[in-house]
Amino acid sequence: MVVTNNVTLPSDEELTVPELNLSTAALRAGAFHLGKACEFQNNEFMLCRQELDDPRACLNEGKSVTGCAMDFFRKVKKSCHEEFMQYATCLDKSSGTMSFSHCRKTQGVFDKCMKDNFDIDRPEYGYFTRAKIHATNRPAPPKPEKKVYADATPGLPDDYPKPPAKYGARFHWLE
């Protein structure tokens, strides 16, 4: 996007939102359940970004994604704090790549707590890669009008004389 004098940038108040102060291990531990819990808000944000191609137009959708994530982790802290922290600590300390394979036992305990308290199952493998239809209340952006250009080179009239080529045909092997 080229910035010119006609571009208006949002104010600091519009851009300021409370951020998630979580470590990578904590975000990774809650990622599957967070994705399932905030799926609608995330899809709404991504649809807005895809359709409008202007990040300034999707600030409210981005704020709702952040708000949903904040609410999710507050609920987890209230109900499943111990199980979540064991799982996040296991991810952080078990390997340098935070591999899930080393922490299946603590993952199972955390998944059970999420199921019991929030009725959220861990999504099955490949859930987030499937194509889904997202129903939104936001109006669709207007479709760009197709530009119609006049024919740049009008053709010759049908009765225009066409003498044979002066130096022969271009495709001489066809003669």
Residues 6+ apart with CB under 8 A from 10: 56, 59
CB atoms within 10 A of CB 124: 8
Domain boundaries, the chain: 23-118
The answer to whether 107 and 86 are in contact (CB under 8 A) is no
Q: Which amino acid is at 122?
A: R
Specify the pLDDT at position 164: 79
Average pLDDT, the chain: 90
Q: Select from 69, 102, 101, 103 the least CA-distant residue to 85.
A: 103
Across residues 157-164, what is the average pLDDT?
Answer: 85
pTM: 0.76
pLDDT tens, position by position, 28-55 = 999 999 999 999 999 999 999 999 888 8
pLDDT tens, position by position, 137-148 = 988 888 889 988
Q: Select from 97, 88, 107, 95 the least CA-distant residue to 27.
A: 88
